[in-house]
Amino acid sequence: MPQNAFSATSPIQLNKKIFSWTDRVYITIYAPDFNSDPNMVDEIGVTTDDKVTVSTTGNSIPYRLVETGPNTGIFSGYVTLTGDPTLKGATGVDGQGTNPTGIQSSCNPICGPTNGFLPSSRNDGITVSFEYNRNNVVTGSGIIQWNLGSVQWLQPSYPVNSQGTLQITDLDMNLNPDAIDKFDTSVWSDSDSGGIKLTMTETGPNTGIFQGTAYFTTDLSSSGNRLHVTPGDTITAEYTDRTLPLPYSPSDQLRITATTTAGTSLPPLERAPADNARVVDSTGKSVDKVSANQQIQIVSNVTNQENRDQPFAYLVQIQDSNGITVSLSWITGSMAPKQTLNLGQSWLPHTAGTYTAQIFVWQSISNPNALSPPLQLQIQVN
């Protein structure tokens, strides 16, 4: 092959830049000069003139790739990473003794194009090298690492005596890319702190996305995938991630939780609506006219429409006629179910003019999910 045959871009392409430790690695090599017969499907990696090697740290196998069709000059195949079971040993990555296989192919004399297996660790790399001429080698590589899992309920709340779907995403738990993997995770409610073990099933081979369905009952005790709840309960799911990326160590574990609520779900802006925005003086009397240097309060009624306690933050922002904020203040607290509060924030205007007060009701200052549509009030200061 000519020395400049691969001068444009890297001829070796992998399907990803970052892989999990049990991923499937698809390899493509663009080598038009090895399309020796335009009427046949050619191969590379079968002679000393076209050697292909696939490696992870401490592991290596010779490999054969097959042309994607007659006269394409594009050669492909895949290798399956098999993890390193010694990283978790008897404890298993799912806490129940399940580990990857750690298998390495025994090639006699060459593996491929789809039957190659290579062990890999949590902080590793995969390299494909193609020696197309003596001392002329091109390579392509990718990173192998563990991933941080995530857990979520697909809805913020579920009616009682219905079912809810929990989803856990963790590519590290896709232990076999040819099979649908499973593991158990913990789910409990305020009414049953012992809870249940919910089976999480991969949504398909090689997805790394797992779902489980829990049934919420008010009448029966918890059993199997059935969880006893009371209206208003917080339902918690906990996933223990045992395959954590750097800077965690292989022995570290991280408990990740997600919550949903049992009961009828209200739209977010109907959970604690505010109304009757008004300006009152220091005695609590409504006023239409405000004087400079007069202490006033911007007040509205806020009602908790939920059947459970509702934390809140009540914010008042005041802007002048140019849209410049001259005051921003808030109070926080919690409302009992169906409770109505008259909430207000004081303001002392120093300069005459036309001002606009905006009133917001959020879940908290650090979690600014709106519980009510914002209110707006014009204030004329003389």
Question: β-strand 65-67 against 74-81: which pairing, if any?
Answer: antiparallel
Question: Is the pLDDT score of 308 beyond 80?
Answer: no
Half-sphere exposure of 164 (CA within 13 A, CB side): 34
pLDDT computed for residue 264 by the predictor: 62
When pLDDT is averaged across residues 190-209 and rounded to a whole number, the result is 96
Question: β-strand 74-81 against 24-30: which pairing, if any?
Answer: antiparallel
> Comparing C-alpha atoms, which of 316, 322, 324, 332 is closest to residue 377?
316
Q: Which two tokens stand for residue 24?
A: 């499937």
**Pair 378, 354: CB distance under 8 Å:** yes
By the 10 Å C-beta count (0-12 exposed, 13-18 middle, 19+ buried), 15 is classed as middle
The Cα-based distances of 371 to 111, 130, 179, 363 in angstroms read: 61, 60, 44, 6
Mean pLDDT value across the chain: 93
> Per-residue confidence at 3, pLDDT binned at 50, 70, 90?
very low
**Pair 62, 53: CB distance under 8 Å:** yes
When pLDDT is averaged across residues 180-184 and rounded to a whole number, the result is 96
When pLDDT is averaged across residues 132-139 and rounded to a whole number, the result is 86
pLDDT computed for residue 6 by the predictor: 43
pLDDT computed for residue 5 by the predictor: 41
Q: Which two tokens stand for residue 63?
A: 């490999």
When pLDDT is averaged across residues 203-225 and rounded to a whole number, the result is 96
**Residue-wise pLDDT tens digits, 242-258:** 999 999 999 999 999 99
Q: Higher confidence at residue 267 or residue 217?
A: 217
Question: Is the pLDDT score of 8 beyond 80?
Answer: no
The Cα-based distances of 190 to 106, 166, 228, 236, 332 in angstroms read: 54, 17, 9, 9, 24
In the chain, what percentage of residues exceed pLDDT 70?
97
Beta bridge partners of 298: 279, 345
> Per-residue confidence at 95, pLDDT binned at 50, 70, 90?
confident
Q: Which two tokens stand for residue 84?
A: 């390193």
> Comparing C-alpha atoms, which of 267, 239, 269 is closest to residue 254?
239
Q: Which two tokens stand for residue 291?
A: 């004087």
Rounded distance, CA 61 to CA 24, Å?
A: 15
Single-letter code of the amino acid located at 301: N
pLDDT computed for residue 9 by the predictor: 67
**Pair 340, 310: CB distance under 8 Å:** no
Domains of the chain (ranges; CATH) run 12-145 (2.60.40.10), 150-262 (2.60.40), 269-381 (2.70.50.60)
**Pair 80, 117: CB distance under 8 Å:** yes
Question: β-strand 136-145 against 18-19: which pairing, if any?
Answer: parallel
pLDDT computed for residue 293 by the predictor: 94
Single-letter code of the amino acid located at 316: V
Q: Please indicate, yes or no, whether the overall pTM of this predicted structure exceeds 0.95.
A: no
If one counts every other C-beta atom within 10 angstroms of the C-beta of residue 80, the result is 20
**CA 252 from centroid of its chain's CA atoms:** 20
Single-letter code of the amino acid located at 108: N
Long-range Cβ pairs for the range 280-286 (8 Å, 24+) = 280/344
- Placement of tokens 């001829």 in the chain: 11
pLDDT computed for residue 367 by the predictor: 78
Question: β-strand 296-303 against 340-347: which pairing, if any?
Answer: antiparallel
Q: Higher confidence at residue 170 or residue 268?
A: 170
In the chain, what percentage of residues exceed pLDDT 90?
83
If one counts every other C-beta atom within 10 angstroms of the C-beta of residue 285, the result is 8
Single-letter code of the amino acid located at 183: F
**Residue-wise pLDDT tens digits, 324-361:** 999 999 999 999 999 999 999 999 999 999 999 999 99
